[in-house]
Structure 1
Amino acid sequence: MAEPIDVVMNAATGRFEATLGDDVAFAEYELEPGAIRLPHTVVPPAFEGRGVGSGLARAALGYARDHGLMVRPACPFIAGYIKKHPEVQDLVDPAWRKRLEL
């Protein structure tokens, strides 16, 4: 079993990041008034099969919940994660729910 990979919020880069050797997987974020916009996620091949993309999504959505922020999921990966996880759908900004068909 692969050992868990830590996800950290890097305010300097505006990304939630996970590092494995020289590779970095990340979910970009932009803080907006009352919301967090998630525009782009990158998961290098070195991370395949480790659940890193889901870990990035959980970290970003957890941050939103902890800080009372609505989520604006512009990234297709994050949007797909949200569609598969009803427990986080309440975080989606009402103006974005139709886009996700929630």
Structure 2
Amino acid sequence: MGIDDELEADVKSQEETLEEWCRVLLQAFELEGVEVDVNGVLSVAGVAAHSVVRPAAPLTTFIAGYAAGMARGIGQATDADSMAAALDVARKAAIDYTEPGTEAE
């Protein structure tokens, strides 16, 4: 097995682990039927980590998830639509973020 094969196996293992962890969490919260765009969540976390500060990633995804849950809970949107909208808002906010006291270029 070469380095590229090992790296590919590691990436697959990480993806498989994340998918399994997602299923475990959904089951723990009794949300087995909910579809989660794991790559979409990770993408937003990456944008927040690089646009704001690294610890903004989990905070951003938590708040986006909370917002999606609230939208779904009041019947404003379906699971998929509420999650997509929340991730879009979080991504845009992170991209547009500038530290207080600094001006956007």
TM-score normalized by structure 2? 0.26
Q: Which has the higher helix share?
A: 2
Greater strand content: 1
Using the size of structure 1 for normalisation, the TM-score is 0.27
